[in-house]
Copies of this chain bind each other. A is one copy, B any other.
Amino acid sequence: MIYFNNDYSEGCHEKVLARLTKTNMEQTLGYGEDEYCAAAAELIRKKCGREDAAVHFLVGGTQANLTVIDAALRPHQGALGPDTAHINVHETGAVEATGHKVLWVPHQDGKITAGQVAQTVHAHRTNGATEHTVQPKLVYISNPTELGTLYSLAELEALSNTCHELGLYLFMDGARLGYGLAAKGNDVTLPDIARLCDVFYIGGTKVGALFGEAVVIMNPAIAEDFRYLIKQHGGMLAKGRLLGVQFQALLEDDLYFEIAAHADRLADRLREKLRSLHVPFLVESTTNQLFPILPDGVLERLSETYVFCEQERVDETHRAVRFCTSWATKEENVEQLCADLQRLLG
């Protein structure tokens, strides 16, 4: 079987593994206080163009989300995101387990707008029972979104401005950030994100690392005492250097962006093939996730050779599915899939 079901089916990029192997028997301080973490953090600060960024390495996305949100909010405050937000639907109530309600507005292609944020906050502040409802304090977005779409720079600027005018934090879940930054048509850079967000993370787990997310905190109110929160939530790896070593390997020669571009290019190849066959999409994504709508019969035939994800039923004879490419996807597998699609749909 050929796996297109997600972007975390393999281990890590060979260069990352080589670095882990090379450093394996070195003795370092524990808990992320080693030189590899320091060097990786410095690399990230440089790429963000911000020496004042606080950088912390966490093991996974849910851990990063709950730790950041818990660090940012007082007890009566909530995180506002799209209904499709990962924290809302796919983390077993991890944010609620820290005591905070997840508030939401309807998504458009996985995204929310500055206008929605403003309207929600306005409604909260003027509803006559303000303190009987949860106070929106942090806006959670994913970029790329769960639907593979991207925020434009203009959208992000608007969100950031609205958040800051209203006294809210802007938090970007960047579990797939590499695939976003490398995507065709993307006009957002790491320095933009560092300028516009209060906190965000650069995802490693889905982009070439064994595991790991680099949390970048721009707002000192969130950064204060952040290591306590990592430890309290069970996120402080004894051998923290494993995260530093991996991010150093990924970022040193821009390996991270190169392998993300590889995945995006293969996704584009597949996307163009599907378009040429007049296959509609559930959503117009531009990154490594595609959501074509295909006839049940075709999907049945494809499932003999390929693993992919069910997304949703569209009508009685069609389903939207998800195909993912990744840093590890082989070009020949994409070509084989394109050929099979041509045969089945052409």
Taking CB atoms, residues of chain B closer than 8 Å to A132 are 31, 90-92, 231, 236
Cα(A71)–Cα(B75), bound, Å: 7
- Please classify how large the interface on chain A is, using the bins under 10, 10 to 19, 20 to 34, 35 or more: 35 or more
Taking CB atoms, residues of chain B closer than 8 Å to A310 are 128
Q: Are B17 and A131 in contact, with the CB atoms below 8 A?
A: no
Among A8-16, A250-258, A272-280, the stretch that binds chain B is A8-16
Cα(A267)–Cα(B134), bound, Å: 32
Among A47-55, A204-212, A296-304, the stretch that binds chain B is A204-212
A interface, over-half SS? loop
Shortest A220–chain B CB gap in Å is 13
Q: Are A234 and B231 in contact, with the CB atoms below 8 A?
A: no
Contact of A3 among B6, B27, B31, B227 (CB under 8 A): B27
Among A62-70, A139-147, A154-162, the stretch that binds chain B is A62-70
Q: Does residue A115 face the partner (Cβ distance < 8 Å to B)?
A: no
Taking CB atoms, residues of chain B closer than 8 Å to A30 are 6, 8-9
Cα(A16)–Cα(B344), bound, Å: 44
Q: Does residue A283 face the partner (Cβ distance < 8 Å to B)?
A: no
**Which A residues are closer than 8 A to B by beta carbons?**
3, 6, 8-12, 14, 17, 20-21, 23-31, 59-67, 70-71, 74-76, 78, 89-94, 96-102, 128-129, 131-135, 205-206, 210-211, 225, 227-239, 242, 310, 328
22 contacts between A and B (CB under 8 A): A9-B27, A10-B24, A10-B25, A11-B239, A21-B21, A31-B132, A74-B225, A75-B229, A78-B96, A90-B129, A90-B132, A92-B133, A93-B101, A94-B232, A94-B233, A96-B99, A97-B232, A101-B102, A128-B310, A131-B225, A205-B238, A211-B237
